[in-house]
Structure 1
Amino acid sequence: MSAQIDRFVHDRLPPAAQLPIFRYDLPELQLPDQLNLVEELLDKAAAKGFADKPMLRSPGRTLSYAEAGVEVDRIAKVLVEDLGLVPGNRVLLRGGNSIGMALAWLAVVKAGLIAVATMPLLRAKELGDIIEKSQPVAALCDGKLQDELRIAQQAHPVLKAIVAFNQPDAPDSLESRAATKRGVFAPCPTAADDIALLAFTSGTTGKPKAPATTHRDVLAMCETWPRHILRATPDDIVIGSPPLAFTFGLGGLLIFPMWAGASVYYADGPYTPESMVKAIRDIGATLCYTAPTFYRQMAPFAKALGVPTLRISVSAGEALPDATRQLWKEATGIEMLDGIGGTEVFHIYISAAGNEVRRGAVGKAVPGFTARVVDDEGREVPRGTVGKLAIIGPVGCRYLDDPRQANYVKDGWNYPGDAFVQDEDGYFFYQSRADDMIITSGYNVGGPEVEDALLKHPAVAECGVIGKPDAERGMIVKAFCVLKPGHAGDAALVRALQDHVKATIAPFKYPREIEFVASLPRTETGKLQRFRLRQST
């Protein structure tokens, strides 16, 4: 039975006919109907032998699992006793990756509240849109990031309280309030299908959506990709750049390390490619999460400085060009662990590691998931044929009050919006976002394939490829290229890049237009925003 008194989110979930089918085919996916994910991951850490092991690390502080548990209980008491919050209330979280942000998130969820984490760079208008959609009663905000949130609060009085964290000396900060609390906080007896978080999507395709994720969803995902593919250990030290405000970062840099009894390191500020490599060396990090673009930028520093303790490099968030995979492997000797997932299902559902990696492929369906490539009517297409990816498993999309639910879930299957090819051995090869597929003179061209070819040219640092409307061909392939220092973006280089692509992949896929730019539009997580490139043509 649900413990969430505030039914705002439950009442705005999709109707039953639009919900995905949930399959719990593996023994480890048979989870109880009453479940609090923080109780499972943190309160039960001592019984698993993790109590005294490091859990959260930063340059100035390290907390064991037991110490983190005490801090989480104190914050939860502030939320319930001081702010008067009840299970089901939404709490907006605003902050970068830090121990303070991690503790606040865990306390919110342990108390049966619903975490609505937001990106640090969002401005008042964007925060206002999230507040309007999710109706949070309170916010926990990094002390340095309050200004925009307070502007948003003025226009949205539903947000009654803002409490600052990462300000231990401020008299009314979260830390100061929590320091007055004593005793154990009993976890809210949430149902497994009570909502734990609303994770707003990154906006690569336009207006962000708000998938609702349950306690069961999060713990079920721990039993899929982390158990069967990642295989982290209690001795791992995890580092990475994805924000905790997005599920790639939340899973990789908090939830999955806790599930394994590992520890995670948060720097004092955003990483540069060089500072990430130095941090890996300094702390002895063994497992790294970041996006392909960042790995590409890290590669020369990793080659020069070395990353001797690193054993796993996870790439996700956007398509991994094979050129980047090989560059990183040449620099470090590490075969990248690629994966594709989504906010709608919390994390990765297609992946491969170690000797299971096949060049050019993302991987196979993760145990617990079934994936297939289908046509517009949902019929599976022959192997080797481009089609739309459809998945089904222990998690699935539930958009909060959004008509786009009908586009994502069809006949119980989740349609992430990606175009793939599956080979005879079950490996999936990413082509593009389904709405990014370029159809030129009757040929299907995937932008990421052209991007991969361009990145193999020594002059190209980054690139993005789109289809540009064309009266004669329907579309033409257009590339936006950021050049490495010392290269001039002139007509001669355009011809050289076009010839290079023709020599690398099928000649009809070459970019008929190339525009040289200083930078590419990306989300805060590093994903390329192709819709903005299309808008610029």
Structure 2
Amino acid sequence: MIDDPYMQEAVTEEYLPSDSEAPDTIHTLPEQHYPKRINVVDELVDRHVREGRGDNVAIYFEDREITYSELQEQVNRLGNALKDLGVEPGDRVVARFPNRPEAIVSCLAIQKIGGVALPSMKLLRAKELEYIINNAEAAAVIVYDGLLEEVDNALPNLDTVENVIVAGRNGVDHDHHSYDDLVDAADPELEAHDTERDDLALMLYTSGTTGRPKGAIHTHQNILATADGYARYCLEPTEDDVFGGNPPLPFAYGYGDLVTFPLRFGASVSLVEDASPGDLLDAVEAHGITILASIPTGFNQILEQYPDGPEEYDVSSLRLGLSAGEPLTPTTYENFKSAYGIDLLDGIGTTEMLHIFISHRHDGEIDPSATGFPVPGYECKIIDPDTGEDLERGESGLLAVRGPTGMEYWNRPDKQEEVTQDGWSIPGDIFVQREDGRFEYKSRSDDLIISSGYNIPGPEVEAVIEEHDSVSEVAVVGSPDEQRGEIVKAFVVRAEDETDEDELIGEIQNHVKNTLAPYKYPRSVEFCESLPRTDTGKIRRTELREQEHA
């Protein structure tokens, strides 16, 4: 962390895309014409208190109800505590929690004092945290004590972290700052920092096929724009709505559904820590969830594990379901609608674009075989992957998007050039635009494996598997799976040894689980004599993928 705020601003600018590298942004909706000076937390929390909604419930968690006034006070206290520790405007601060109220409070407190919230996936290991935190040059980490171990393991190699704040909920011993003590001792009054609409407010790290995480950066107006476009026009929320679901808050999808959208409209959010299908149904009944967000795997699990769910639970409050993270099949759509009586809105979004930019509207004619239309405020087109020329409707090609958000990376000019073309963002998805204007998803254009909504870069898993002494060569691809969409599959060429195959599979899987986030481990391992390669010696992963899909 740098003491001089002007120096901090200069350093930050070095990490942002230049005007020529950044995508064009357009603001065609009147709701997205924000004043130059605006703070997202003033809009999401303080405004509701000023306008008389302070007693409305903002967060349901277990048997607790947190009103907007109570949320404001908690945010103010933590924000003041962070300032007292030396956190300055522009500083990046990691928030590492499961889906708990402290996660929302932490992100809002960071943003209210002009900092940049960096939510961290709870399954990340120390090695992954080291890269992300050092790359972001984070000044502090706020962490749930149940997730402290990997932070402590990474701490000796963290270059810029000066403070670790621990929310003690499980009695874990530590010698860091206490979240509760800091909040209790802090001033409950705090004015939002005088941020500009283009100041950074949120960083979300995503991995591409290189396995090297990339920090997607988002401004105060970017966050608000997702609510004032997709949520306002496709969902039409009111103060009476209760958003709920199981997407993790560090996912852009989860951050929008469970933070931005409910708070933008004075509605409520139901948080469930480590939600199983039964936990979600419990929350629907207990908290009156009206808009349920999940991924297709989650909806399938509800149907499979609770075939009598609508009879066992009071789900009468539900009015709409949201699905993203992987393609929603017409079968899942029809089965869930038949059982629960609600539509599921499929959507395509990315961490870089912050939320969904193609979807149907809740009150429109939904065709479950297509993703939908461009969300109000966005423009989409299909281009030739090789020439960049616009393609006619009905032709399969690369999706290009333009709107109030765009794809921008922190300190990654190499990747920035790959994801923009003539001012348009290129998410890397293959689509077809039908004659009726709907966009139909076809596939990813790269090697990213999407399993149960998690984005898993194959080469990252390969690098870990190759560390095993019994592995000579390995290639990792996605293999179709009915429940998860895809699973990670490893094709392994063995080194000369006598290890039993079943034993070796277990060792490989455990090694990946202990090195990377557990969801990245190969659920299937196939041994082979050799891997298909090009004339230049590169592994032909496309051939392996085609083999699996066949």
TM-score interval, normalised by the smaller of the two chains? 0.7 to 0.9
Aligned to 1:365: 374
Superposed, 1:138-537 pairs within 5 Å as 138-167=140-169, 172-201=177-206, 206-267=211-272, 269-301=273-305, 303-306=307-310, 307-354=315-362, 355-376=364-385, 377-402=387-412, 403-435=414-446, 480-481=480-481
Question: Aligned pair in 2 of structure 1 residues 531, 372: CA closer, same or farther (>3 Å)?
Answer: farther
Shift in Å, 1:345: 1.3
Q: Quick one: distance in 2 between partners of 1:119 and 1:154?
A: 20
Cα distance, 1:479 vs structure 2 = 5.0
Equivalent residues in 2 for 1:10-21, closer than 5 Å: 10-21=13-24
1:235-273 per-residue CA deviation (whole Å, 9 max, x = no partner) reads 111111111112111110011100111111112x31122
Match for 1:96: what amino acid? P
Could you say which residue in structure 2 is the equivalent of 1:31? 34
Following superposition, the deviation at residue 288 of structure 1 comes to 0.8
Contact residue 93 and residue 140 of structure 1 kept, 8 A: yes
Structure 1 residue 322: Cα displacement: 1.7
- Structure 2 Cα separation of the partners of residues 97 and 124 of structure 1: 20
**1:47, distance to aligned residue in structure 2 (A):** 3.5
What displacement does 1:320 show? 1.1
Provide Cα deviations, 1:76-127, integer angstroms capped at 9, x if missing partner.
Answer: 000001x111101111111111011110110001010111111111111000
Report the Cα distance in structure 1 between the residues aligned to 2:429 and 2:28, rounded to whole angstroms: 24
Deviations 1:270-314 (A, max 9, x none): 112222223212322111111111111112455402122111110
Alpha-carbon contact 1:5-1:86 (below 8 Å) kept: no
Who is 2:92 aligned against?
90
CA distance in 1, matches of 2:211, 2:524: 7
**Rounded Cα–Cα distance in structure 2 between residues aligned with 1:478 and 1:270:** 25
- Which 10-residue stretch deviates more, 168-177 or 377-386? 168-177
1:204–1:531 CA contact under 8 A, matched in 2: no
Deviation at 1:167?
A: 4.0
Report the equivalent of 2:532. Answer: none
Contact 1:303 1:332 in 2 (8 A): no
Structure 1 residues 379 and 136, CA gap change in structure 2 (3 angstroms): same
Normalised by the length of structure 1, the TM-score is: 0.80
Once residues 4 and 117 of structure 1 are traced to their aligned partners in structure 2, the CA distance between those partners, rounded to angstroms, is 25
Q: Is the partner of 1:188 in helix, strand or coil?
A: coil
Distance 1:149 1:478, change over 3 A: closer
Question: What does residue 494 of structure 1 align with?
Answer: none
Q: Calculate the TM-score normalised by the size of structure 2.
A: 0.78
Distance in structure 2 (CA, Å) of the matches to 1:527 and 1:220? 32
State the 1:356 CA deviation. Answer: 2.6
Rounded to whole Å, the distance in 2 between the matches of 1:57 and 1:210 is 30
Give the CA deviation at 1:166.
4.6
SS in 2 for 1:345: coil
Using the aligned pairs only, state the percent identity: 33
Cα drift, residue 60 of structure 1: 3.6
Deviation at 1:208, TM superposition (A): 2.2
Q: Report how far residue 59 of structure 1 moved.
A: 1.0
Task: Tell me the SS of whatever aligns to 1:275.
Answer: helix
**Distance apart, 1:529 and its partner CA:** 9.6
Asked if the contact 1:167/1:173 (under 8 Å) is kept, the reply is: no
How far apart in 1 are the matches of 2:123 and 2:183?
27
Q: Give me the whole-angstrom Cα distance separating, in 1, the residues matched to 2:483 and 2:288.
A: 33
Q: Spell out, residue by residue over 1:41-84, the C-alpha distance to the aligned partner (whole angstroms, 9 max, x if none).
A: 11111244421100011114211001100110000000001x11
Residue identity matched to 2:437: G
Q: 1:199 is paired with a residue of what secondary structure?
A: strand
Give the distance between the partners of 1:261 and 1:162, measured in 2 at CA.
32
8 Å CA contact retained: 2:127, 2:154: yes
Amino acid at match of 1:39: D
AA aligned to 1:277 is L
Once the two structures are superposed, residues 182-238 of structure 1 have per-residue CA deviations (whole angstroms, 9 ceiling, x without a partner) of 341111101111100111015577332111100111112221001100111111111
CA distance in structure 2 between the aligned counterparts of 1:322 and 1:209, rounded to whole angstroms: 33
SS in structure 2 at match of 1:382: coil
Q: Distance between the aligned counterparts of 1:136 and 1:12, measured in 2? A: 13
Kindly indicate whether the alpha-carbon contact (under 8 Å) linking 1:302 and 1:331 is maintained by their aligned counterparts in 2: no
Change (3 A) 1:399 1:528: farther
Partner AA of 1:288 in structure 2: L
Q: Verify: 1:112 aligned to 2:123, yes or no.
A: no
Task: Please name the residue that 1:489 is paired with.
Answer: none
Report what 2:48 is aligned to. 45
Summarize the Cα distance change of 1:126–1:114 in structure 2 as closer, same or farther, 3 Å threshold: same
Counterpart position of 1:474: none
Look up the SS of the partner of 2:406 in the other structure: coil
Native 8 Å contact 1:350 1:366 kept in 2: yes
* 1:145-167 superposed Cα distances (whole Å, 9 cap, x missing partner): 11110111111141111011254
The equivalent of 2:73 in structure 1 is 70
Question: 1:524: how far off?
Answer: 7.5
Question: Contact (CA 8 Å) 1:4, 1:190: kept in 2 or not?
Answer: no
Whole-Å separation in 2 of the counterparts to 1:64 and 1:194: 28
* Structure 2 residues not aligned, in runs of 5+: 459-476, 485-505, 527-540, 546-550
